[in-house]
């Protein structure tokens, strides 16, 4: 119990020293910038699915402030009606680059948390950030799809598979388990390779598991709050969706940094207990 209390005190101290909320806000900024090229890619891919331009504009009118929707209406309709392969490529690359800036910010934050300098080349760090970004995208898709839409998926396949009551319960448990396992696995890779320091995987399991569970809980809790109590649309109008997105990105960055801080403290304690066996060196 005393050890847990000391760990909590060290966590609060490290949290304040590293200005974790500011680091989380920096990540949220880059994640938000990735949304716009991602929307561009989404518009560019619409023509390949034969979606009615009027339906698309109706969606845009509900999602964006009226003035902005009107301003871009002509360009959006043009994108929807005629396939733009080059624009699709630019949108995807732009989204990946912007999102990787967020991971790059996390890499710098990890180095600061471990008190190490970045000695890897710019190209190496950027390629690492891109690779980690792709992994995070896959993990987040799984982590969001299974918990949020698991019931819909099960309801669709149940008539075809003839699932019994016990099997349905098992699948309900599995969809959460798989989601946490996949997200934890990607976070293990993120926490292992982001800092410029060789860290045993056993030293980053606590932070990865904590961040995975926290992300699931906060995402569901925040979704429940927005749906039932947070009437952002009434207060901010069409900008409410953007504000919700910013807050969610900030919470995501905050959770990633909380996991990193836990790993740093756990790693330091293991080093102090057995300096020879757990000795780590710079990459």
**Per-position DSSP letters for 24-36, written without gaps between them:** HHHHHHHHHHHHH
> Does 283 map to a domain?
no
Closest CA to 133 of 256, 41, 23: 256
pLDDT value at 154 more than 60: no
Which range marks the domain in which residue 208 is found?
2-273
pLDDT category of residue 281 using cuts at 50, 70 and 90: very low
Higher pLDDT, 46 or 210: 210
Reply yes or no on whether the pLDDT at 55 is more than 90.
no
Is 141 part of a structural domain of the chain?
yes
Q: Is residue 135 part of a domain?
A: yes
pLDDT tens for each residue of 213-231: 898 888 777 666 655 655 5
- Does 282 reside within a domain? no
Q: Return the DSSP state at 195.
A: S
Assess if residue 212 is contained within a domain.
yes
Residue 281: inside a domain:
no
CA torsion sign for 226, 230, 234, 235 is negative
Q: 10 Å Cβ neighbour count for 92?
A: 17
Q: Is the pTM of this model over 0.75?
A: no
Q: Number of structural domains, the chain?
A: 1
Poorest-confidence range of 140-144, 163-167, 184-188? Answer: 163-167
Residue of 98, 28, 96 whose CA lies nearest to 243? 28
Residue 279 lies in a domain: no
User: Which letter does DSSP use for residue 202 in this model?
Assistant: G
Task: Return mean pLDDT, the chain.
Answer: 74
Asked if residue 241 belongs to a domain, the reply is yes
Token pair for residue 129? Answer: 């950030």
CA distances from 177 to 153, 184, 209 (A): 16, 10, 12
Terminus-to-terminus CA distance in the chain, angstroms? 36
């Amino acid at each position: 119990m005393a050890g847990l209390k000391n760990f909590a005190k060290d966590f609060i101290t490290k949290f304040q020293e590293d200005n974790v909320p500011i680091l989380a806000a920096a990540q949220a900024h880059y994640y938000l910038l990735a949304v716009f090229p991602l929307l561009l890619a989404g518009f560019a891919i619409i023509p390949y699915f034969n979606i009615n331009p009027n339906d698309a504009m109706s969606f845009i009118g509900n999602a964006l402030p009226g003035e902005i929707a009107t301003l871009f209406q002509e360009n959006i309709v043009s994108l929807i009606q005629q396939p733009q392969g080059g624009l699709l490529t630019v949108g995807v690359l732009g989204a990946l680059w912007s999102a990787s800036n967020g991971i790059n910010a996390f890499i710098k934050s990890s180095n600061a948390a471990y008190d190490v300098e970045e000695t890897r080349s710019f190209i190496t760090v950027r390629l690492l950030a891109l690779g980690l970004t792709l992994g995070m995208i896959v993990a987040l898709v799984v982590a969001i799809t299974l918990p949020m839409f698991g019931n819909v998926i099960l309801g669709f396949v149940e008539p075809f598979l003839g699932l019994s009551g016990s099997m349905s319960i098992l699948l309900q448990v599995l969809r959460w388990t798989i989601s946490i396992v996949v997200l934890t696995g990607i976070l293990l890779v993120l926490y292992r390779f982001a800092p410029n320091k060789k860290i045993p995987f056993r030293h980053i399991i606590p932070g990865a598991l904590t961040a995975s569970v926290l992300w699931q809980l906060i995402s569901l809790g925040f979704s429940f709050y927005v749906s039932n109590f947070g009437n952002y649309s009434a207060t901010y109008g069409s900008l409410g969706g953007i504000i919700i997105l910013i807050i969610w990105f900030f919470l995501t960055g905050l959770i990633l940094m909380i996991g990193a801080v836990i790993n740093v403290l756990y790693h330091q304690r293991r080093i102090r207990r057995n300096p020879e066996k757990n000795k780590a060196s710079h990459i």
